Amino acid sequence: MASHESTYQPTSRLSKWLDERLPVQRLMHGQFVDFPTPRNINYLWTTGGLLTFFLAIQIATGIVLAMHYTPTAAEAFNSVEHIRRDINYGWLLRNLHAVGASMFFLAVYLHIARGLYYGSYKTPREVLWILGVIILLLMMATAFMGYSLPWGQMSFWAVTVITNLFSSLDSIIPGLGTKIVQWLWGGYSVSGTTLTRFFSLHYLLPFVIAGVVGLHIWALHKVGQNNPTGLDIKTASDTVPMAPYAVMKDLFALSVFGLLFAWFVFFAPDYLGHSDNYIEANPLSTPPHIVPEWYFLPYYAILRAIPNKLLGVIAMFSSIILLCFVPWLDTSRVRSAKYRPIYKWFFFLFIISVIALGYLGSKPPEGAYVLWARLFAAYYFLHLLVVLPIVGVLETPSKLPHSITESVLGKGGGAAPLKAAAAPERR
Amino acid sequence: MVKMGGAGLALAALGVAAAAWAGPVLAQEHGGTQVARQPWTFSGLFGEFNNNQLQRGFRVYTEICSRCHSLNRIYFRNLADPDGPAFPVDGVKSLAATHQVEDGPDDNGKMFKRPGTLTDAIPSPYKNDKEARAAHNGALPPDLSLIVRARSVENDAPFYLVPYTMVRDVLSGYQESGADYLYAYLTGFQEPPKGFKLGDFMQYNRVFPGHQTAMPPPFAGGDGVVKYDDGTPATVDNYARDVTAFLAWAADPRLEDRKRLGLLVMIYLIITAVLLGFAKRRIWREVH
């Protein structure tokens, strides 16, 4: 699987027997126990572990919720209330699943921002990065369909608005968009048919995500992890084994992130949602403002910033698709923005733009909000399409350390033998 | 250099800020700053419902609201919930029995009436929505089971204050904006300002979006219209508070379970985080 050989030693006769027939323990040991991890990775590198945890939480709670949920227009809303009121710990499962989705996105955005800052997309990690963008898209599709399931007012109208985006294709080939929308809906309007198919897909996609996550980890372990210096691993002293070092750090980060997760689950479960979703879906009554969940707000702001519907839809989708091309748009020789004195500031402007777009997406599309949304949306694309290629060429990177070890221990420190790192398992 | 660099830290902070956008910014356009936050017994980390208040609120609901509004998701058995109104079971049984409930079909295929039991839902004032609309000039009195969670107050803070209000509301576990709104609405009926044109059969309300509501002022009879027997002053203000608390429970009957378990989980996670933090420091000590 990876460039690194597992040091697995079977200890019992059974494990030796199994190792000769199916070396799964050897594989796991090589990938998740003695896998060499850069010794300088910071806490942003724990987001990968967090994401795996949240995928597992979402699948586990989702499977149990599906046992009690009824995916029909007449009963969906009632069955969610039934889960919250009558099922033992149903309120807990429901909160874990709903808040879990938000935490999943929080972690994935931190994960992506880290990749962008430290240049984790640069060669040889292009495929790893693109797989990540695919996971993001799958997560979005899953979350969008999952949000329709409670069948509240916001569920219904968010589905109506977003699926209707495809009708903008009518301006290219008349009738095409309408056909696609009707095909998605399974009828001439959003209905119970739409709900049932969204439920089916919402159950399917997480397993597809799990599969792509497998590929993502495979690609990661083939090329090795990036690190805050962006330097390649050169010597054994640049790394520590994954267990116990990275594992313990991940566990600590997980317990801290878990505090945030639990806080929302137990003390602010409605904070991340919309009160309109406690009103059952009503096709005859449109809410005054239709807004998506917070994690879609930046894209929603981009969509609305552009006066033409088709172009707005194209801009919204390309804001994510463009990320696939970042490995080639960035022309810098240096990976980490830590050593890129000019680019660093553009990067923070980019992050501020995304946050500002999130705020603007929650506001009605009128007056100054539209103007600012256009400005920030413009910078979003400018950053990816212009700043990344140009700054990479013009900028003189600051001086890089010679090795990962030097960045940790200072000059000359690389010579110091690392007992702990060299013999963590007393092999 | 295993600690997070300045850049990394800023990055993480920005991410968290981005995530916390959601709630108040999105909350529905009801009232805005005109809705004052009220002290509720069920707010905050240690909040719980006051049984007596819920019992009074149930009385207000029964004598006033239930003439027009249903409470479909509440069953008689729920009224005896110790985390809710905690009425004595026998009392609830006899209350349920005073209602005639349609059941059936029997062995002859006929529907029949029987006295209500604990497992029956609280009866609706109307057979269906059409009947309800016909009785109210076309307006539909909404079911009240979820009304407190289905309403919220818009956070209309200027953008530079939004991070502050977000953090404040998340840290204080502010979940009572629906209750605040409902109380403000119930006590918000007044004469329309000069020049305001009210539609036919409409009432002016201070906090209702657009200020025109089809609901007549519920406590027009004034203080004393509902009798209280636990010594609480029978005032319109208390009616509004008590019925709001009752409906807050109806909308979130597992609130006390949630907060109790939440405290245990937080304590467990804090201890775990501290232990794991020490373990991590110990393990990494020789590496950096």
The residue among A311, A419, A291 whose CA lies nearest residue A358 is: A291
Interface check A272 vs B, CB under 8 A: yes
CA of B1: which chain A residue's CA is closest?
A: A408
A410 touches chain B (CB under 8 A): no
Could you give the C-alpha distances from B276 to A34, A229, A251, B148, B267, in angstroms and in order?
A: 20, 26, 7, 40, 14
Q: What is the pLDDT of residue B5?
A: 47
Residue B227, min C-alpha distance to chain A (Å): 31
Whether the predicted pLDDT of A418 surpasses 90: no
For B45, which of A252, A265, A267 is closest by C-beta distance?
Answer: A267
What integer is the mean pLDDT of A20-30? 94
Residue ranges in chain B whose pLDDT is less than 70: 1-33
pLDDT at A1: 41
Distance from CA of B277 to the nearest CA of A (A): 6
Is some CB atom of chain B closer than 8 A to the CB atom of A406? no
Give the pLDDT of residue B160.
Answer: 94
**Which of A266, A335, A354 is the best residue to mutate to test the B interface, defined by the most B CB atoms within 10 Å of its own CB?**
A266
Helix axes A47-68, A192-223, angle to 10 degrees: 150
Model pLDDT, residue B4: 43
Separation between Cα atoms, residue B242 and residue B55, nearest integer Å: 8
pTM to 2 decimal places: 0.92
Asked if A289 reaches chain B (Cβ–Cβ under 8 Å), the answer is yes
- Select the residue of B1, B170, B273 nearest A40 (Cβ to Cβ): B1
Q: A168-177: per-residue pLDDT in tens?
A: 999 999 999 9
Give the distance from residue A314's alpha carbon to the nearest chain B alpha carbon, in angstroms. 24
pLDDT digit string (tens) for A138-171? 999 999 999 999 999 999 999 999 999 999 999 9
Instruction: Tell whether the model's pLDDT for residue A346 goes beyond 90.
Output: yes
Given this model, what pLDDT does residue A417 score? 44
Chain A stretch 234-253, residues whose beta carbon is closer than 8 A to a beta carbon of chain B? 240, 244-245, 248-249, 251-252
B109 Cβ under 8 Å from any chain A Cβ? no
Burial of A300 (0-12, 13-18, 19+ CB in 10 A): buried
pLDDT digits (tens, 9 = 90+) for A241-283: 999 999 999 999 999 999 999 999 999 999 999 999 999 999 9
pLDDT of residue B3: 41
Phi and psi, residue A263, nearest 5°: -60, -45
Segment (H or E) for A239: strand A239-241
Give the residue from B210, B209, B212, B187 showing the smallest Cα distance to B198: B212
Residue-wise pLDDT for A65-79, tens only, equals: 999 999 999 999 999
DSSP tag of B191 = P
pLDDT, position A19: 94
pLDDT, residue A2, reads 47
pLDDT of A420 strictly over 80: no
Per-residue pLDDT tens over the stretch A116-142: 999 999 999 999 999 999 999 999 999
**According to the model, what pLDDT value does residue B145 have?**
97
Q: For residue B9, what pLDDT is reported?
A: 47
Q: How does the average pLDDT of chain A come out, rounded? A: 94
Nearest chain A residue to B143, by CA: A279
Closest residue of B to A253, CA-based? B273
DSSP result, B60-101: HHHHTGGGT---TT-BGGGGG-TTTT---HHHHHHHHHTSEE
User: A233 near A38, Cβ under 8 Å?
Assistant: yes
Backbone torsions φ then ψ of B262, nearest 5 degrees: -60, -40
Asked whether the beta carbons of residue A418 and residue B286 sit closer than 8 angstroms, the reply is yes
- Arithmetic mean of pLDDT, A296-309: 96
Question: Which are the contacts of A324, defined by CB distance < 8 A and separation ≥ 6?
Answer: A129, A130, A133
Of B170, B251, B266, the CB nearest to A262: B266
Pairwise CB contact (< 8 Å): A279 & B178: no
